[in-house]
Amino acid sequence: MNYLMQSAVCLLEQAAERFKNKIVFEDKDGAISFEDLRTKSRIVGSELLEKVETGRKCPVIVYLPKSINSIISFMGSLYSASPYVPIDYAIPMARMEKTVENLRPTAIITDSEGKEKLAPLNLDTTILIFDELVNGQLNDEAVDMALDSVCDLDPAYIMYTSGSTGVPKGVTISNRAVLDYIEWIVETFPIDGNSVIGMQSAFHFDNSVFDMYTAFYTGAKTMIIPEILFMYPEKLMDYMAESRISVIFWVPTVMISVANGGVLEKPLPDLKLILFAGEVMPNTQLNIWRKYLPDCMYVNMYGPTEATDIATYYVVDREYENHETLPIGKVCANMRALILNDEDKQCKVGEQGELCISGTGIALGYWNAPEITAKAFVQNPLNTKYHDRIYRTGDLVYENEEGNIIFIGRKDSQIKLRGNRIELGDLESAAAAIENVDSACALFDADKQEIVLFIETAAEIVARKFKMELKKYVPAYMVPARIVTMEKFPHTPSGKIDRVGLRKEYIVK
């Protein structure tokens, strides 16, 4: 990589020179080449420079449906030296209002429908219509001057995640973090100009960073898979075969749905690399994928949004039994991992502690939130000699004898019930291994001091018999007091199980 690069958009600049008329993205409405993407993005950047204040402290919200137009807007923001902020097009307006209040954006890029949805909020910010921007005037000189002002430690994007206080947190990622992350991806995995990436992630979920920037770096093509296809696994498989998709980076929930749908018998001869992250991948469904696609490389990826998507990875090299835990592996390049106990001392091999990470991929902090930034991003307690910032993930892990990190669960999902320490993730894994269970989710009702286990299944489950089966895998004190069955779990826009929604519906009344 050219380390004179200061902005992540320089990857597009180089790609447009190298690959020109080659298709880089395709969605349900059409396709765009590297050169056309650069030109249209530069036009959007020119218009932003003309119409609004720009710069590292002037974020631009992109509030558009998942499409090529969103990517043009992201890159246009970077060309204007402003960080972009992808927002879910289906976001509740109350949450949008809180996000804008925290962010204080310089502008919002949207379409006519989006402008109407935003109108009742009376936002004190400039609203720009994408079609008008992209048909504006190109000013290469102004764009080049803006890029010259960018430092690699300036923010490239801000991605909002849920906050425990109800106020969204804007995770702020630098240009350097994006550049180093994508360089590691390309050096580690077999992706090149002949690859076709099948994009599942929403743009406001950090797996999308892989889908976009890997294409810029390698000349690969990214297919923006129509969202409706994920509701119909058989049609999804047909689409993947016809599109000759060779690389996917999906959340486990989607992979579980495909495995349970019995559609993997359909041939996918081009698929070679399968990455997954965002949740724990159950071995039962992973083994179904491995059965029907034995020649693919499978990689368990781990990382919070605060780590530019991924911090550790594990290449699955064997079949794992249902009771085994799939490692999250070793750290990526330019990253370090510390496992600290309750006294902030380094844990020994096999000893459980909190995973803390550092390196160039760590976020700059939370936008306009110095107090919560100071709690999560702290000085390395093992280093008193110089400034050494680490991010406390809140995840409990340990290192095994092979040097792989094993994920146990969240610190906030570790509960104490009648004196017993319980990892809710352990209960979920055990439940998911039982016949006819497609997925499992365990929550703790602190008021009633009981565990509630949610089961996704099409079968009829008798609670008493199910609890007896569970006792084969977990001690009696871990058996849930209540079992709730449903055909389909609710999911967040990123594809994860909507645990907050389940809690509100079934526990907090």
Strand partners, 482: 452
* pLDDT tens-digit readout, 281-301: 989 999 999 999 999 999 999
pLDDT above 90 as % of the chain:
77
pLDDT above 70 as % of the chain:
96
Per-residue pLDDT at 1: 39
Residue 331 confidence (pLDDT) above 70? yes
Per-residue pLDDT at 509: 57
How much is the average pLDDT of 369-397? 94
Architecture label for domain 418-506:
2-Layer Sandwich (3.30)
Domain boundaries, the chain: 10-150, 418-506
**What is the amino acid identity at position 328?**
I
Shortest CA distance to 329 belongs to which of 234, 399, 421, 413?
A: 399
Residue 3 confidence (pLDDT) above 70? no
Task: Indicate the pLDDT class of residue 477, thresholds 50, 70 and 90.
Answer: confident
- The CA–CA distances, whole Å, from 320 to 171, 286, 302 equal 34, 9, 18
Task: Indicate the pLDDT class of residue 446, thresholds 50, 70 and 90.
Answer: confident
DSSP-assigned letter for residue 371: H
The CATH number for 10-150, chosen from 3.40.50.300, 1.10.580.10, 3.40.50.10330, 3.40.50.980, is: 3.40.50.980
User: Per DSSP, which regions of 405-449 are E strands?
Assistant: 405-410, 414-417, 420-423, 439-445
Shortest CA distance to 125 belongs to which of 111, 107, 113, 98?
A: 107
Task: Indicate the pLDDT class of residue 49, thresholds 50, 70 and 90.
Answer: very high
pTM of the model: 0.85
Per-residue pLDDT at 447: 76
Task: Indicate the pLDDT class of residue 458, thresholds 50, 70 and 90.
Answer: confident
How much is the average pLDDT of 155-183? 87
Task: Indicate the pLDDT class of residue 365, thresholds 50, 70 and 90.
Answer: very high
Task: Indicate the pLDDT class of residue 166, thresholds 50, 70 and 90.
Answer: low
Give CA–CA dist 209/305, Å, rounded.
10
How much is the average pLDDT of 114-134? 96
Residue 163 confidence (pLDDT) above 60? no
* pLDDT tens-digit readout, 386-398: 999 999 999 999 9
User: Alpha helices, DSSP H only, in 189-294?
Assistant: 207-218, 233-243, 252-260, 283-292
Per-residue pLDDT at 475: 76
